[in-house]
Amino acid sequence: MKRKIACLLTAIIYSVFILTGCAKQETTEKDDLTVIGMSQVGAESDWRQADTASMKAVFTEANGYRLLFDDARQEQENQFVAIRRFIQQKVDYIVVMPITENGWDAVLKEAKDAGIPVILVDRMVNVKDEDLITAHVGSDFYAEGKKATDWMKEKYANAEQVNIIHIQGTKGSTPQIGRTAALDDAVKANSKWKVIARMDGDFTEAKTYEVMKEYLSNRDTLPQIDVVYCENDNEAYGAIKALEGFGYTCGKNGVSVISFDATYNALVYCQKGKIAMTVECNPLLGPLVESVIKTLKAGEKPEKNRYVEESAFRPEDITEELLASRKY
Ligand code: GZL
């Protein structure tokens, strides 16, 4: 009997709720949300996960957004599928972190034809029609690389020869292209610098450990290595693990390991001297993307490219205060 009364009461309360329009009001509010279709590269690195967290912290329903988030698991085809789904869903904006630069013309034209603005985050795309992209926010990767090579020039100013191992990021991605170009230009300008090996670490610790271990295993005698130039922090962790496994010392009087991103763990490695320099690459791009969307919603034209300010850190720069201040 009690159960029947409880069910009856629930039905009455729900009817009152519907009739008074509360549900309708709540539904109406949800209809006012700005719908964002977001295609993220994957979760391959600490940097990537901080970038995703930054986006999810901004694009919340409380802030007036419905975020349709897709993790492409580092496959460009998955990004194409997600973008076409967003078009079918008639989202208000498409936000893409493109894994590599080429192959985007067709799918971005479909978004343009559907009247949906596309905002690029982090990396760039190489398209014939620049109007396919409404705006881009991210980093200047060549400038990041130059910070590292300028440090190398100072460190090895009097060296007779500098043997460099180069661990590249995801081939064809904008950070790989920019950070590689900076190293290539510095090697051309310094006759004593020699790249003794170049490998693809794909921005992951596991892949870098694998390729570095393979390289060292295949040497008759272990080479003199002065610098390992890793195109992100996670590659540096893998490289250091492999180097130490073969008896190398990473640090002031050993191998200088360079990395990019300057995520928290890399700053700790740097504080311990195992990373000689980590160049900052800011993943906290959510607020910048929101400012572009607010500009567009106000009927104004956003800047085509917004680059974030970035620094670089050596062991002597790492204080407890700096570590405590870091957000990623
Ligand atoms: C750089 C970003 C790179 C990071 C890596 O903006 O695209 O991809 O350097 C990440 O850690 O995997």
Question: Is 31 a residue whose pLDDT tops 90?
Answer: no
Question: What distance in angstroms lies between residue 40's CA and the mean position of ligand 1's atoms?
Answer: 12
Average pLDDT in the chain = 93
Domains and their CATH numbers in the chain: 33-139+283-297 (3.40.50.2300), 141-281+314-325 (3.40.50.2300)
DSSP calls for 5-52: HHHHHHHHHHHHHHHTTHHHHHHHHHHTSEEEEEEE--S-SHHHHHHH
The answer to whether the CB of 121 is under 6 A from ligand 1 is: no
CB of 47 shorter than 6 A to ligand 1: yes
- In the three-class reduction of DSSP (H, G, I as helix; E, B as strand; rest coil), residue 137 is classed as strand
Give the mean pLDDT of 283-312. 95
Distance CA 205, CA 213 (A): 12
Cβ(260) to ligand 1 under 6 A? yes
Tens digit of pLDDT for each residue in 107-116?
999 999 999 9
pLDDT value at 23 more than 60 = no
C-alpha of residue 16 to centroid of ligand 1, in Å: 52
Alpha helix (H) ranges present in the chain?
Answer: 2-19, 22-31, 46-58, 76-88, 105-113, 141-155, 174-189, 205-217, 233-245, 264-271, 286-297, 320-325
In this prediction, residues 183-212 reach a mean pLDDT of: 98
**Probe ligand 1: pick from 168, 171, 261, max atoms within 8 Å of CB?**
261
pLDDT at 27 over 70: no
Measure the CA–CA gap between 199 and 10, rounded to whole angstroms. 65
Ligand 1 lined by 273 (C-beta under 6 Å): no
pLDDT of residue 309: 86
204 lines ligand 1 (CB under 6 A): no
Q: CA angle 74-85-62, nearest 5°?
A: 90
pTM: 0.88
Query: Under a CB-based contact definition with an 8 Å cutoff, are residues 121 and 285 in contact?
Result: yes
Atom of ligand 1 nearest to the CA of 283: 6
Segment 317-320 long-range contacts (CB within 8 Å, at least 24 positions apart): 317/270, 318/267, 318/268, 318/270, 318/271
d(CA 301, CA 293): 10
| Whole-number Å distance between alpha carbons of 34 and 15 | 29
What's the rounded mean pLDDT across residues 32-60? 97
CA of 232 to the centre of ligand 1 (A): 7
Residues 23, 62, 33, 107: is their CA dihedral positive or negative?
Answer: negative
For residues 8 and 25, is the Cβ–Cβ distance under 8 A?
no
- Tell me: pLDDT of 21 over 50: no
Residue nearest to atom 6 of ligand 1 (CA): 122
Q: Judge if the beta carbon of residue 134 lies within 6 A of ligand 1.
A: no
Q: What pLDDT is attached to residue 28?
A: 35
